[in-house]
Chains A and B, each alone.
Chain A
């Protein structure tokens, strides 16, 4: 069932490519159906796996031989961590289509690339052959480039090229590490299970770990390699920035977790402090920069860097609670960042054609677009980590884990949370609640929020609230995955 998430997405992309041009409505409907189909398959697959899987067990989905010469297999499987992320991808995909309902220019190609990107993302989360994982990982680069370069806004060619090159350099680093691991392990197989067994000499792990980890973490916005993220997010069209922040950044974090950390535990322990410190710098730096931005979208872009810092910090605590918080934070940030970008890009920018906070001030958007303002209040509260939303549970777990491993860094990260409240508050006031215009007649006339937007917003809001109130839904999936024997080397000596 889970494999169909990938197939449906690529089939949808192929169908759109062969569709006669000009029929935008049909293209949208096909895209929505494919995204919904993917979500349905994901949900069904999650339900199926959750019922059958024991602790730490992998549920095999597909396992075919592919390239005999290298021992590569077409192996799709899932554990709790991938299930959570597949679910996130499904929800983000549907929301993204709903928020791009107004794309008119080359609509067919837009959704074809969009679905190809989604298919690649599903593929990464479900691949348990690392060659296959790498194939899907690279496959996602090109649609990202075109989505930004063709449909983007400010400095789109620069932003697109920067994103593509950062991603490609990252994957080049991963490639070197992967090939080296294959050669050194002598496993004659790219299966995750085989490669994770190693054994790799410590001297090898000391350099292989940072190469592969940073290679993946570039895409997760690890400071100081995060600079693609704000420019890329700002240049991207709404749906693409939703996906970039929502799922593509998770690809990086997931790869770092699945490949770098499990393959090279000795290297991981050696570099743990450095990487944790970088993650905390990212949290604080991202939040502080977000605090002074004049461009609405840059605020959200930098906040993504800050929130992804929590994911990396959670992973680096090497405690089960920190890990579970990191995975939950991936899900939660995917939903919330998607929502924030939807409000900024679709609801506000597409109507006002400006993202400059100074220009938004006199528009009294809370009167003109009350739905957008309400959505942003809730999403901002969720993003700032208010209890009752998914972000709270996730960041709390990360902080608890960090407190066990690095008390000082935990304090700094908590300070980052406070700055997070500050920039959310600031942007909320400036963009929506500044009483700039005194006379009601001066207010701009903007088209009302459309039905697809409302549906998308409700989908994302509902998800974050449900997970906030009932985190057990996802934690129940994550916890057994952390008992996997292949993750055990991570915990040893992790909590100090």
Chain B
């Protein structure tokens, strides 16, 4: 086939999403004259969801396995795009009832562009294109974070996100340039071939570590997490939910892909008994620090969005365990974990978004007595919190369990037990702060004067659906895990 045509078919889902973004802009422009914001938001949201669904249909129905130019599309990445698009649809459903902006067309268009960035990110195996995709995603998210113009916190969040994000992009780019200088290539497979059998140079390690630092910013792994709490708290809640979910899944996947494809020679080990330099010990340190710092800092938070931010830092630490372990075998655990985490955290943010639409903030005190006024919403929040804490039979429990088993089983067996013990201990601590939220909801009496949320139908449906997903995947993890392992077995990257 013509290589251009092949590129176009491989990129069809991305093209659909970008076109949808343009259509949303045009449609909103056409309607802008005096129509109420709610109607415009309805239209833009509907087009967004429709476009995403169309892209999903294409990605799901048209089997595609192409390795052309800078693209590496396989059933695994197609399937991952499905998941990312689903997360985007959920984030769009939350934005529907949000009253934080009048510029709905631009908002949904940026959301779609961010989604396109995510999809491009997972379908490339070239460091340059990965960087471009990362920037497409990041720039869209900076703008989205600033979208609530009436709130100073939103502006602050966006500025912080931009400064930290820009810094991390600089690190990544510089790291990539060093790696390019050593190996003379940007294609992941070629880099691995160049590095094989060659004694590693210090400059190469500098480049590797800089790239890792860039990704650590993106993943909000401690000690590069400082932006996360402010951004999660200040950004409009649907945007924060998108940053916490979709962006996490894609970043972890691409990080795994880079490290496993390009740098298997520079692995090193983090085993307690025999230490070797490489990216594994770096990630092990990041994981350990993130788990401890995230969980400890979360204990004292009084705002649920900040609490979720610190919990996200801790969860990034757990997920890094999969990369520290023998990562080819633990990739399934990593994907299962990040995807179920994405659904859960999206649900938790959705509940906060609904609370905000009723004129409250996301403070812990605002949740007082929610259990009696909005039983369905509260039950869903219960599911999300307990899943994050890792209580069975919810998805978060099995995700963690499987991850820990994979980490403990990494060859030589039990060599990473210290990290597993740390992770288990950290997650025991985490129950405390998740229970604080639930205590407010169920055990504290509601104040009689407070306004109570009447969630929009779209948000309510999204929340219930997400809670359902979390429960079902917890009770029958094989539904998702079986799919992931099958895909990875037949198409390793």
Contacts and interface: CB of A to CB of B under 8 A. Distances in A.
A135 B392 contact: yes
Interface string B386-399: 10000111000110
Contact of B424 (A146, A161, A176): A176
A67 B477 contact: yes
Nearest to A135: B392
Interface in B359-408: 386, 391-393, 397-398, 401-402, 404-405, 408
Contacts of B332: 69
A168 B428 contact: yes
B3 interface: no
A179 B386 contact: no
B443 A67 contact: no
Nearest to B410: A183
B439 A70 contact: no
Contacts of A182: 405, 408-409
Contacts of A176: 417, 420-421, 424
A68 B482 contact: yes
A180 B482 contact: no
A429 interface: no
Nearest to B409: A183
B413 interface: yes
A164 B481 contact: no
Interface string A125-145: 000000100110011011001
B414 interface: yes
A161 B432 contact: yes
A153 B446 CA distance: 19
Contact of A179 (B397, B408, B427, B478): B408
Nearest to B386: A142
Interface residues of A, number: 30
A172 B404 CA distance: 12
Contacts of B414: 180, 183-184
A139 B428 contact: no
B190 interface: no
A145 B405 contact: no
**Secondary structure call for the B interface:** helix
Contacts of A146: 438, 442-443
A295 interface: no
A165 interface: yes
B282 interface: no
Interface string B470-493: 000000011001100100000000
Contacts of B428: 165, 168-169, 172
Contact of B443 (A66, A157, A179): A157
A428 interface: no
Interface in A142-163: 142, 145-146, 149-150, 157, 161
Given A67-B477, A150-B442, A168 B431 contact: yes
A479 B408 CA distance: 38
A183 B413 contact: yes
A183 B332 CA distance: 18
A190 to B, nearest CB: 10
A200 to B, nearest CB: 11
A37 B405 CA distance: 38
B404 A149 contact: no
Contacts of B398: 67
Contacts of A168: 428, 431
B485 A69 contact: yes
A277 interface: no
Contacts of B425: 172
Given A138-B392, A184-B413, A179 B404 contact: yes
Nearest to B477: A67
A57 interface: no
B481 A67 contact: yes
Contacts of A131: 401
A184 B417 CA distance: 12
A175 interface: yes
Contacts of A165: 428, 431-432
B170 interface: no
B435 interface: yes
A146 B435 CA distance: 10
B405 A70 contact: yes
A189 B392 CA distance: 19
Contacts of A69: 332, 402, 477-478, 481-482, 485
B392 A175 contact: no
Given A180-B414, A184-B414, A142 B391 contact: yes
Contacts of A67: 398, 477-478, 481
Contacts of A179: 401, 404-405, 408, 420
A141 B391 contact: yes
Contacts of A145: 435
A175 B424 contact: yes
Given A70-B405, A139-B392, A161 B482 contact: no
Contacts of B408: 179-180, 182-183
Contacts of A175: 401, 404, 424
Interface in B442-475: 442-443
B393 A139 contact: yes
A164 B413 contact: no
Contacts of B397: 135, 138
A142 B389 CA distance: 11
Nearest to A156: B443
A153 B457 CA distance: 39
A168 B425 CA distance: 10
Interface in A467-482: none
Contacts of B386: 142
Interface in A176-214: 176, 179-180, 182-184
Interface in B199-217: none
Interface string B320-339: 00000000000010000000
A175 B403 CA distance: 12
Contacts of B409: 182-183
Contacts of B420: 176, 179
A146 B393 CA distance: 17
Contacts of B402: 69-70
A191 to B, nearest CB: 15
Given A182-B408, A183-B405, 6 more contacts: A69-B478, A135-B392, A135-B393, A150-B442, A165-B428, A172-B424
Closest 8 CB pairs of A and B: A135-B392, A172-B428, A149-B443, A172-B424, A183-B409, A183-B408, A168-B431, A179-B408
17 contacts: A70-B402, A131-B401, A135-B392, A135-B397, A142-B386, A142-B391, A157-B439, A161-B432, A161-B435, A165-B431, A168-B428, A169-B428, A172-B424, A172-B425, A176-B417, A179-B405, A180-B417
